[in-house]
Amino acid sequence: MNFVLHGVAVSAGITIGHAHLVSSARLEAAHYEIADSAVAAEIFRFDAAIARARQELAAIEAHVTADAPAEFGAFINLHRMILADSSLSHAPRELIRERRMNAEWALVQQMEKLVAQFEEIEDPYLRERRQDIEQVVERVLKTLAGGNAAPEPPASAEGNLIVVAHDLSPADMILFKRHKFGGFVTDVGGVTSHTAIVARSLNIPALVGLHHARQMIRENDVLIVDGIQGVLVVDPDAVVLGEYRLRQSQHGLERQKLKRLKSTPSATLDGTPVELFANIELPQDLGDVQDSGAQGVGLFRTEFLFMNRKVLPTEDEQFEAYREVAKALEGRPVVIRTLDLGADKGLSEGGPQDMPNPALGLRAIRYCLSEPQLFLAQLRAILRASKYGRVRILLPMLAHAHEIDQSLSMVKQAKQQLDDKGVGYDAAVEIGGMIEVPAAALALPMFMRRLDFLSIGTNDLIQYTLAIDRTDDAVAHLYDPLHPAVLHLIAHTIQAANRGGTPIAVCGEMAGEPGLTRLLLGFGLRNFSMHAQQLLAIKERVLRTDLAQAQPLAQRVLRQSDPAKTRELLLKLNS
């Protein structure tokens, strides 16, 4: 039967292959009463399964390669902690002993209790962690059934296999590094779920949030994963299959063709240079940066060095990471953003937590100024690295003049501390600020007077302008980069900075969206920073842009208050 399911695309591209169902052991768990005489043996069976699951996690941890994203280690750690918790490792024993439940039933019963508690939690990130509990329980159930913890299809067929699962634990996902699957789809998972985070790093077509895919799809069904449109086609007929094969090869060819632009200078048709920079989270992203031909790193989100670990990185460890990036860029600039912790970017321990409204709370620069020792250590580490390349410092989430003044005096203090020790740094290191709070965009002269450069963080600027949580699925449809208020703030910021001679960039997701490149160019933007994978597609847009046409059209978009007309004009701009 031919049908189509819609989900959330978390990783782009099109893949066609055969379904490989990852069994959801939980759904298949047996429920039966055991005899009094079998209690001891059943508890023994349960304990042995817990021990085996523990060994499996330890084995996966031992296989994590040095280049695996830092999140992997943290996911496994979290699963080990959940497994060690007495509510899972001991409470089911009571259910076996007192209620005569078989081990699987006792475990699932206990899990449902825990999951129900998590469902009550308001914080969407924490609520999503119930999935980690489910994944751990599934692992134990699989060992109870004597099965393997993860699918191991024949290697030869892997590229043609599309993994279909109710959910995939991030620990199981590590195996995707070794196994080259064609793609994967899952029933659950929002765009902020761990599975989605890992999916992006694997760069294979993937969809999440398909709801009942696992139940509706049979092993070996032919599937098309359209990670561009967020569509899954099951058992397509010959016409649809032919159409998608064409699209797939076109997509592959386009990406291949783009590679030729790697060393082409980035400029519009009239020769106006446009700088294209890459965003990174960790030094290990440098490979992609080099492959993209980026002119440097426009945003190094340093908070990722601090996440998923119990002990925070020392000044020296930070220095090593910043120096590695500065050196590898061989004279090309790196914009190192100071810690943007808070909101959805929490720490495993400590850090800004338990706030009534985290996105509006002690986040980013606010948190750093409240923790001067932490901030000073980071500033010293960045300054020390500035001797090894072209380093710039970027301050996130600024809104007040006193935040800038205080930060600048902290930089001065950090320099003094290094001077006292005779440690070298680039004395002329430039300090910039992020424009990501509407107040900052509206009070720009206050920023331009104090800072060397500016960078617009459109992700937060949109969140704070439209009052919608950027991580909340329920309001995702209201996240609109083309809202007139958003466009106004962006255009005004670019134009005011250009007039005042303050270098200005955009480093939010809008910079990596080819459909918006000409609009931003028309507003006067000449510096874009985005994830490396997007860079060549943006360069292609830039190379085919006629500024004389783009500028007046962009101004017309700005004057527009009818959303339908805005989209019409954008189409014209992109034609």
CB of 528 to ligand PEP, least distance (A): 12
Choose from ligand PEP, Mg ion, none: what does 411 bind? Cβ within 5-8 Å by kind: none
Given 166, 194, 251, 531, the catalytic residue: 194
Choose from Mg ion, ligand PEP, none: what does 458 bind? Cβ within 5-8 Å by kind: ligand PEP
Considering only residues 132 to 161 of the shown chain, the ones binding ligand PEP according to CB under 6 A are: none
- Over the window 194 to 223, marking each residue x when it contacts ligand PEP by CB under 6 A and - when it does not, the resulting string is ------------------------------
CB of 279 to ligand PEP, least distance (A): 7
Place of tokens 């996240």: 479
Closer CB to Mg ion, residue 136 or residue 456?
A: 456
Closer CB to Mg ion, residue 4 or residue 467?
A: 467
For 248, residues 6+ apart whose C-beta sits below 8 A from its C-beta are 14, 15, 16
Q: Judged by CB under 6 A, which of 457, 481, 512, 522 binds ligand PEP?
A: 457
Closer CB to Mg ion, residue 183 or residue 433?
A: 433
Choose from ligand PEP, Mg ion, none: what does 71 bind? Cβ within 5-8 Å by kind: none
CB of 503 to ligand PEP, least distance (A): 16
The residues that touch Mg ion, with contacts defined as CB under 5 A, are 436, 457, 460
Sign of CA dihedral 277, 279, 280, 284: negative
- Over the window 283 to 302, marking each residue x when it contacts ligand PEP by CB under 6 A and - when it does not, the resulting string is ----------------x-x-
Q: Judged by CB under 6 A, which of 13, 189, 298, 508 binds ligand PEP?
A: 508
Given 20, 166, 368, 507, the catalytic residue: 507
Interatomic CA distance for residues 537 and 527, integer angstroms: 15
**DSSP 8-class letter at 473:** G
Please choose, out of 66-74, 378-386, 425-433, 455-463, the segment that lies near ligand PEP by the rule CB under 6 A. Answer: 455-463
Interatomic CA distance for residues 11 and 198, integer angstroms: 10
SS3 526: coil
Closer CB to Mg ion, residue 433 or residue 457?
A: 457
Closer CB to ligand PEP, residue 89 or residue 465?
A: 465
Interatomic CA distance for residues 469 and 479, integer angstroms: 9
> Is 459 near ligand PEP (CB under 6 A)?
yes
Burial 525-545 (b: 16+ CB within 10 A, else e): bbbbbbbbbbbbbbbbbbeeb
Interatomic CA distance for residues 19 and 222, integer angstroms: 6
DSSP 431-465: EEEEE-SHHHHHTHHHHHHH-SEEEE-HHHHHHHH
Choose from Mg ion, ligand PEP, none: what does 529 bind? Cβ within 5-8 Å by kind: none
CB of 277 to ligand PEP, least distance (A): 12
Active site residue 477: no
Closest CA to 168 of 141, 186, 181: 186
> Is 507 near ligand PEP (CB under 6 A)?
yes
Q: What is the 3-state secondary structure (H, E, C) of 242-304?
A: HHHHHHHHHHHHHHHHHHHHCCCCCECCCCCECEEEEEECCHHHHHHHHHHCCCCEEEEEHHH
Interatomic CA distance for residues 21 and 19, integer angstroms: 6
Cα angle 393-399-402, degrees, rounded to a multiple of 5: 80
Longest dimension (CA), the chain: 86
Choose from Mg ion, ligand PEP, none: what does 507 bind? Cβ within 5-8 Å by kind: ligand PEP
Choose from ligand PEP, Mg ion, none: what does 533 bind? Cβ within 5-8 Å by kind: none
Instruction: Name the E strands within 78-230.
Output: 161-165, 183-186, 206-208, 222-226
SS3 234: strand
Specify whether the CB–CB gap between 298 and 507 falls below 8 A. yes
Closer CB to Mg ion, residue 226 or residue 340?
A: 340
Considering only residues 55 to 94 of the shown chain, the ones binding ligand PEP according to CB under 6 A are: none
Choose from ligand PEP, Mg ion, none: what does 221 bind? Cβ within 5-8 Å by kind: none
Q: Which amino acid is at 545?
A: T
Closer CB to ligand PEP, residue 456 or residue 570?
A: 456
Q: Judged by CB under 6 A, which of 42, 172, 226, 340 binds ligand PEP?
A: 340
Chain centroid, CA 42 distance in Å: 43
Residues paired with 280 in a beta bridge: 300
CB of 523 to ligand PEP, least distance (A): 16
Active site residue 194: yes
SS3 474: helix
Closer CB to ligand PEP, residue 143 or residue 295?
A: 295
Choose from Mg ion, ligand PEP, none: what does 281 bind? Cβ within 5-8 Å by kind: none
Please choose, out of 41-49, 313-321, 456-464, 493-501, the segment that lies near ligand PEP by the rule CB under 6 A. Answer: 456-464
CB of 459 to ligand PEP, least distance (A): 3
Closer CB to ligand PEP, residue 459 or residue 549?
A: 459
Interatomic CA distance for residues 225 and 10, integer angstroms: 11
CB of 436 to Mg ion, least distance (A): 5
Residues paired with 434 in a beta bridge: 455
Question: H or E element: which one contains 153?
Answer: none
Residues that bind ligand PEP (CB under 6 A): 299, 301, 340, 436, 457-460, 507-508
The residues assigned a catalytic role are 194, 507
